[in-house]
Amino acid sequence: MPYDPTLPLPNSPLESQVIRDQFQALFNLINNIATITAAQVDGVTTVNPGDPANVSVSVSGGTLHLSFSIPRGNDGAQGEQGMPGQAGPDGPMGPPFASAIVDSVNTLNPGEPATVDLIFDGSNVRFTFGIPRGSDGATGATGQNGEVTQVDLNNALQSTLAQTSSNSNSVNTLDNPFTNDPPTLADLETMRQAYNDLVLALRR
């Protein structure tokens, strides 16, 4: 017989068997408590909001058995409205959007992270992008000479002619006329040397 804290009843005749059963039940409880070696949760039951929580305890074969009844919470407030075209975590589906608009695309310095900002104005989803530019590349190979214009040719020709006209300045002139008729070999030799000097001076 399990222990019954209501026995013996108030003002009832004293019965030895009732007292003996109560003492035996207390002895069994104390003995079982002293030999508990493990605890086990047999179950957890969810009850309605407002119901009291409860736990049932029993001992069997040195094991303490527990069963819990726990009330669930009241329903929370409605969650925030989701983004256009998708439901929020707890709220209703957001309104549809009419279109997506790119407001601007900004160039960032090399190495900076790319960015994107998004806002919803009630009808349109609006984007602003930040995209880093690439680092400067290595210097390329020297290209071919460009086309020479007629102006460049005219300037080069005038410069060349201006320099060429002074090439013969080192050649002496033949200021003395030849008086021999016909000229002598010495006169011819003088002319040959003057000719050679002129040719050498004009060579480039």
Q: Give the CA radius of gyration of the chain.
A: 59
Cis bond leading into 183, ω under 30°?
no
Q: Where are the domains of the chain?
A: 16-71, 99-132, 168-204
- pLDDT tens across the length of the chain (204 residues): 666 767 777 777 777 787 778 777 767 777 666 566 777 888 888 888 888 877 676 777 777 677 878 778 777 777 665 555 555 555 566 666 567 788 898 999 988 888 888 888 777 888 898 888 888 888 888 877 777 788 888 887 777 766 666 667 777 887 888 888 888 888 888 888 888 888 887 776
Name the one residue in this structure whose structure tokens are 């002293």: 34
Q: What pLDDT is attached to residue 74?
A: 78
The CA distance from 186 to 2, in Å, is 164
How many Cα atoms within 13 Å fall on the side-chain side of residue 143? 4
Q: What pLDDT is attached to residue 148?
A: 76
Q: What pLDDT is attached to residue 23?
A: 75
Entry pTM: 0.27
Q: What pLDDT is attached to residue 204?
A: 63
Q: What pLDDT is attached to residue 95?
A: 60
Q: What pLDDT is attached to residue 137?
A: 84
